[in-house]
Amino acid sequence: MKKEFVVIGLGRFGGSIVRELIELDADVMAIDISSERVDEYAQIATQAVVADTTDESALKSLGIRNFGHVVVAIGDNIQASILTTLMLKEIGVEKITVKAQNDYHEKVLRKIGADQVVHPERDMGIRIANNMVSNNILDYLELSDEHSIAEIKASDKLAGATLIELNIRARYGVNIVAIKRGKQILVSPKAIEKIQREDVLIVIGSDADIHKFEKKALH
């Protein structure tokens, strides 16, 4: 069975989620208060509906409760974003992801029970900055204020050595959780796995340890 999602708010962020979900073969109900925005998605989404999602009866009549995961991508109108999240929570939606505008917005969203709060602009800024500082860091995903997962290009310096020889966890405090090798992904690689030049290492650790590893181990 196809996965079913609802996306509320069809700005650039919400719109790109709709397109990608459809690309990934999911069913998507796309909702916006603006009929022009909804028209744009009529041919793309499985269903595109004009509705004001701060109106509880409108939400109920759309049968949103039956969808497992709802994304609230209402940007500037913080009040509408909070009210919508609250209504979704009240009608018993299982999982709610909300785009936050700032830290205060996030705090309120968490208090009222949003399961996942995202800051797309801030997170993308962090990823791009990390990639700018080091060409070896391909991607960077914050897990908390201090811990992250990074995708790091292996270097000539590491190539040919096994994980046990490199003793990365003891020396740098980071764990290699997977290795991307071409199209292949080696999850939880064994200690005897030999690193190859073109490998991409997926490492998890504190930000400080990840940067120490990137500086000391690769150059």
Closest distance to ligand ATP from the beta carbon of 33 (Å):
4
- Beta pairing, strands 47-50 & 27-32: parallel
4-20: burial string, b at 16+ Cβ within 10 Å, e else: ebbbbbbeebbbebbbe
118 vs 166 by CB, closer to ligand ATP:
118
Closest distance to ligand ATP from the beta carbon of 145 (Å):
24
Closest distance to ligand ATP from the beta carbon of 64 (Å):
12
Give the three-class secondary structure for 100. Answer: coil
Closest distance to ligand ATP from the beta carbon of 75 (Å):
3
9 vs 205 by CB, closer to ligand ATP:
9
What is the token pair recorded at 149?
């997962």
Neighbouring C-beta atoms of residue 218, cutoff 10 Å:
17
- Quick note: the x/- pattern for ligand ATP over 54-83, rule CB under 6 A, is x------------------xxxxx--x---
CA distance 16 to 114: 21
Q: Which residue is nearest to ligand ATP (CB)?
A: 11
Is 52 among the residues that bind ligand ATP (CB under 6 A)? yes
Is 13 among the residues that bind ligand ATP (CB under 6 A)? yes
Nearest to 9 by CA among 68, 91, 122, 96: 96
> Which residues contact ligand ATP by CB under 6 A?
8-14, 31-34, 37, 52-54, 73-77, 80
